[in-house]
Chains A and B, each alone.
Chain A
Amino acid sequence: MSTLDHLTRLIHDKFGVDTAAIDADAPFASYDLDSLTVAELMFEIDDAFHVTVPDEAATSVKTLRELATLIDGLSAKA
């Protein structure tokens, strides 16, 4: 499973968001993930992907594809 697919599944499972509504290139807010929800998502990602997402990612990362790229980069360094 690609990182993007894994993230999509995580958002669906944790927040009940319909996977069809998740556009990887659209802002998180377009499928109702507000800043608090993104913070919660980042927290989950650390455990799910065995990485440490930097704190600033919660504000600098705007889309799911950007997040997947960040995670892949962190995993490659690990």
Chain B
Amino acid sequence: MPAATRIGVAGIGVTSPLGDTLDGNWQRLVAGHGAVARLACQGLPDIAAAQVTEDVSQVLTRLQQVGTERVSQMALGAVRKALGDAGIGAWPDPERVGLYLGTGMGGAATMDAGFAALYGGGRLPPLTVPAGMVNGAAAVVAIHADIRGPVLTYAVACASGSVALAEAAHALRRGEIDIAICGGVEAPLARGTIAAWQALRTLAPPDEADAARSCRPFAANRAGLVLGEGAAFFVLRREADLPAAPRAWLSGSAVRCDALHLTNPQVRGQVSTLKAALNASGLTPPDIGYCNAHGTATVAGDPVECEALREVWGEHAARLRVSSTKAAHGHLLGAGGALEAALTVMALQSGVLPATLGVDALDARCAGLAHVLGEAQRAPGLRHAISNSFAFGGTNAVLVFSRA
């Protein structure tokens, strides 16, 4: 790793099921008020899902909305919030600004609606390709924010947002750009996409007693993941270019692949990613005070992640505080890693750890870690924290953040 170019988090913007501001997201999360609810979908069983309630189309005029869709509108809105948070409105050299955007499914709703029209005997709208293409959101952001450096889309399923942050930091360290705008976006709550996830039998049904508790990571009675939508973006800068103290440092990261199975997570790859991320950060397991886990609440995934953490943390595992915030905001797929990174930064800034909601009894296979359950915990000495993203396709990404 190049010598000590620290990368600071200059700003964060979110558009999430937990709300339209980062502070609002955090307060709601720490208060234990999740955003998962029952969602009816024509011709399909009801699902549990976490929706954005903000009118995201308002970021563009109706004329500007031509060729855009929900995913690009959410991305642009969150990017504008991040730039506002960083106190940046314009830049002298747009070619020194890069956009690193993660999304698993891009304009899925546009493709869904287009094919539904076609197969129903109707006409396919002419802008189905530009609105639906996976880099459509990045293009819309670049146009409206005047980003003329690298504008890249990372489609790495559930690790997309984390990979985008990691790659953006590398580009800053390499000196390719001066300002990195990076994060993730996903808008998967369209009928065909929901049906595809249902067909994979990974979705939790809505909890009959309390739909808000449908996603139960690490719980003995967990029943699967809950889809969410939203966007989270960061403005990253090199330490020397920061105009003010950053929210936190992105101390390091690692990206590795299991190379074993399309969907089943594997301990081997997660262990190597965790170790590599710590190494890249110059930190050791006992330095890490909090892990924002991938924790999707699938039967297969959670025990593997916990085993990987136990293996890397060894004798320190029982003191590693762990939670999955997906219980509150759902699984934002390509945006998940970015939103969870934002919440990890908030944990560092506030010295408070959000709890995994909805867990009555922990799965014994997830034990051996200091799970934060029930209520948020104070952690005033927290200095370093990690955020895990372990994707379908086998790609694993771990981000390490440090208190500024």
Interface residues of A (CB under 8 A from B): 14-17, 32-34, 36-37, 39-40, 42-43, 46, 58
Binds A, one of B119-127, B223-231, B240-248: B119-127
- Is B364 on the interface with A (CB-CB < 8 A)? no
Q: Are A43 and B126 in contact (CB under 8 A)?
A: yes
Contact of B62 among A16, A33, A43 (CB under 8 A): A16
Chain A residue at smallest Cβ distance from B66: A37
Q: Is the interface of B mostly helix, strand, loop or mixed?
A: loop
7 A-B contacts, Cβ less than 8 Å apart? Answer: A16-B61, A16-B63, A37-B63, A37-B66, A39-B126, A40-B125, A43-B123
Closest 6 CB pairs of A and B: A16-B62, A39-B126, A15-B63, A37-B66, A36-B67, A43-B126
Q: Are A15 and B123 in contact (CB under 8 A)?
A: no
Task: Report the bound CA distance from A68 to B126 in whole Å.
Answer: 20
Q: Are B66 and A36 in contact (CB under 8 A)?
A: yes
Task: Report the bound CA distance from A33 to B63 in whole Å.
Answer: 8
Contact of B66 among A40, A42, A46, A58 (CB under 8 A): A40
**Per-residue CB proximity of B105-136 to A under 8 Å, as 1/0?**
00000000000000000010111001000000
Q: Are A14 and B62 in contact (CB under 8 A)?
A: yes
Chain B residue at smallest Cβ distance from A31: B63
Task: Report the bound CA distance from A42 to B127 in whole Å.
Answer: 12
Q: Are A36 and B123 in contact (CB under 8 A)?
A: no
Task: Report the bound CA distance from A14 to B65 in whole Å.
Answer: 10
Chain B residue at smallest Cβ distance from A17: B63
CB contacts (< 8 Å) of A15 on chain B: these are: 62-63, 66
Task: Report the bound CA distance from A33 to B123 in whole Å.
Answer: 22
Task: Report the bound CA distance from A52 to B126 in whole Å.
Answer: 14
**Per-residue CB proximity of B370-394 to A under 8 Å, as 1/0?**
0000000000000000000000000
Q: Are B127 and A32 in contact (CB under 8 A)?
A: no
Determine how close the nearest CB of chain A comes to the CB of B61; give it in whole angstroms. Answer: 6
Contact of A46 among B61, B62, B123, B130 (CB under 8 A): B123
Task: Report the bound CA distance from A16 to B65 in whole Å.
Answer: 10
**Per-residue CB proximity of B196-238 to A under 8 Å, as 1/0?**
0000000000000000000000000000000000000000000
List residues 56-72 of chain B with CB under 8 A from any CB of chain A.
61-63, 66-67
Contact of B130 among A14, A36, A42 (CB under 8 A): A36
CB contacts (< 8 Å) of B123 on chain A: these are: 43, 46
Q: Are A42 and B62 in contact (CB under 8 A)?
A: no
List residues 35-76 of chain B with CB under 8 A from any CB of chain A.
61-63, 66-67
Task: Report the bound CA distance from A69 to B240 in whole Å.
Answer: 62
CB contacts (< 8 Å) of A42 on chain B: these are: 126
Determine how close the nearest CB of chain A comes to the CB of B72; give it in whole angstroms. Answer: 13
Contact of B127 among A14, A16, A39, A46 (CB under 8 A): A39
Determine how close the nearest CB of chain B comes to the CB of A72; give it in whole angstroms. Answer: 22
Task: Report the bound CA distance from A67 to B175 in whole Å.
Answer: 51
